Amino acid sequence: MEKVKSTLKQLARDWAEEGAAERAACYGPLLADIERLLPSESAARPNAKVLVPGAGLGRLAWECAARGFACQGNEVSYFMLLASNFVLNHAADLGQLEIYPYVHQSINVRAPADQLRPVPLPDTDPSRLPAHTPFSMCAGDFLAIYANQPGEWDCILTCFFIDTARDVSQYVRTIHAALRPGGVWCNVGARARVPRARGRPPADAVRGRPLPLPRGPVALPLGGDGPGRILDRAPAGGAARAHRAAP
């Protein structure tokens, strides 16, 4: 039941007008980065392939495809996949659906009407994509699928995705392998918590302190055998950190 309630709230965030501000804060920096790296007049843009792991309900991946990028979203949760499939393929009219994502919420409620407030969606037509632009959603585990796609992707966008890793280095290695030489990994959201893993957890985790990723320069050989870049963005549109990886 908790996953159903979470999916309904994420539908309100990703595909309703009331989620626009949050999407602008989290997705906006990533979209601005790929627009800058591959502007619309660039000859490379029609052939640029973008991957969005942890795509959730598919809005970020859809926004990339709407800008003319060949994009694939990857998601492992069946709840997210079922909901995203319904919105992307069966909800063409603006506001044609009404959901009640807050009906089970008992905190941050001023009046009963707040719990019973409907949220119309979608706020855009999901079928409105440029002609012949490849767009897909891939179901399955990121590590299992994309470790076998060396040099396949020009850009990988992660939005609060590395939070889900039990071992961040596995995600980094897989991203490294999947990017073409010179490819770019754009990230929003640091690793701010540590899921319970097998064996003894780190001492900082035992004491309850988060273990964030370094925010300074990072030297990682992204993009196959050639140098690549990491762009690490703050979710509220903070300054980007673009690092040329060590060869």
Q: What is the DSSP string of 204-242?
A: HHHTT---PPP-S------STTS--EEEEE-TTT---EE
Predicted local confidence at residue 41, as pLDDT:
75
Where does residue 162 rank: exposed (0-12), middle (13-18), buried (19+ CB within 10 A)?
buried
Q: Is the pTM of this model over 0.85?
A: no
Predicted local confidence at residue 242, as pLDDT:
40
Which residue did the predictor score with more confidence, 235 or 180? 180
Alpha carbon separation from 26 to 30, 104, 138, 203, 241 (Å, rounded)? 8, 26, 22, 31, 16
Predicted local confidence at residue 44, as pLDDT:
72
Listing DSSP states for 47-87 in one string gives G-EEEEES-TTSHHHHHHHHTT-EEEEEE--HHHHHHHHHH
Predicted local confidence at residue 102, as pLDDT:
93
Q: What angle do CA 27, 39, 153 make, to 5 degrees?
A: 70
Asked if pLDDT for residue 126 goes beyond 80, the answer is yes
Q: Could you report the per-residue pLDDT of 40-83, keeping only the tens digit for each?
A: 777 777 789 999 999 999 999 999 999 999 999 999 999 999 99
Positive or negative torsion for Cα 189, 191, 196, 197: positive
Predicted local confidence at residue 230, as pLDDT:
66
Which residue did the predictor score with more confidence, 234 or 39? 39
Q: Residue 161: pLDDT band by 50, 70, 90 thresholds?
A: very high
Predicted local confidence at residue 189, as pLDDT:
86
